[in-house]
Amino acid sequence: MATVQGSNGRIEIFEDFFGGEDIVANTAATRSFGGSGLRVLGQGIAETDSGITVGETDGNNGVGILTTTDEANHSCGVATSQGFVVGKMGTIVAEARVRLPAIANREVFFGFSDVNTDTVSLEDDVFHGNGTTITLTASDGAGFLFCSELTDSADWHGIYAGGTTTGETTSTSVDLDDIAVAGEFQILRLEIAENGTCRWYIDGELKQTKTGAVSTTVDLACQLVVETKTASALTMDVDYFYVSAARDFTI
């Protein structure tokens, strides 16, 4: 039987952080956020000081404030389900407008990975930077990594794993040469083609292209996570979170 395709050929997930919020005092290990289909996750969100508040920033836009608990290597983030397969659903696009209030003592990841547990930690489970080394704990994925523990502690890095091109573990080889400026919003955009080729954009400028960067067959989740590297609660502001992919009509 031939594959029948409907008129709704793309999946789109968009969260504007304009309404609804995750109560910080909520102690559930994971919970849904708003009506966009995202969920809140991370190591430490079951604590009463971690979660996502929503409000106006500078008088405009709804902005989500992701807040970690006050323990090192604990995180807070939003994520989709693990339902994206590059070879069947590309080109996949993920975009977020983010702002770091400060760049010290924190690690941030935005992109896709095959690790999507309730208590996900960047350092222990997904991707992590230290010195000039990128640790690719997750088997598959790609995205933007910022880490104050890297030698180049102010730049975004474009990391990847699981594709036909071996994931790069030397940070200088994936340094996007774009500084995360404290207090300023930046637009991060990742495009993944059906063949696993990835393109990283910051504020509309193409920063890196890698052929065969990710697996075309592994189930991936889109995630935006901030993690504190010290015993203090830290935050990240998110103006919006967007994911678009072709619908898989073969299932």
- Which helix H or strand E contains 17, and what residues bound it? none
* Whole-number Å distance between alpha carbons of 156 and 172: 11
CA dist 211 and 248 (Å) reads 23
> Does residue 202 contact residue 172 with C-beta atoms inside 8 Å?
no
Compute and round to an integer the Cα radius of gyration of the chain: 17
Integer Cα distance of 175 and 182 in angstroms:
18
Report the pLDDT value the prediction gives residue 70, as an integer from 0 to 100. 94
Query: In the structure encoding, which two tokens stand for residue 49, read together?
Result: 């000081």
DSSP-derived secondary structure for 162-222: SSSSPPP-BGGGSEEEEE--TT-EEEEEEEE-TTS-EEEEETTEEEEEETT-S-SSS-BEE
Determine contact, residues 177/165, Cβ cutoff 8 Å. no
Instruction: Report the residue count for the chain.
Output: 251
Q: Per residue of the chain (251 residues), what is the pLDDT tens digit? A: 456 666 677 999 999 887 666 666 666 667 777 667 788 899 998 888 898 888 766 657 788 899 999 999 999 999 999 999 999 998 999 999 999 999 999 999 999 999 999 999 999 999 999 999 999 999 999 999 999 999 999 999 999 999 999 999 999 999 999 999 999 999 999 999 999 999 999 999 999 999 999 999 999 999 999 999 999 999 999 999 999 999 987 77
Phi, psi of 216 (to 5 degrees): -95, 0
Question: What pLDDT sits at residue 21?
Answer: 64
pLDDT for res 1: 45
- Quick one: pLDDT at residue 58? 61
pLDDT, position 221 = 97
* pTM of the predicted model as reported, rounded to 2 decimal places: 0.93
Q: What confidence score (pLDDT) does residue 251 get?
A: 72
- The single-letter DSSP state of residue 4 is P
Question: Max alpha carbon distance in the chain (Å)?
Answer: 58
Nearest to 212 by CA among 225, 193, 230: 193
Q: What distance in Å separates the CA atoms of residue 169 and residue 134, rounded to the nearest whole number?
A: 5
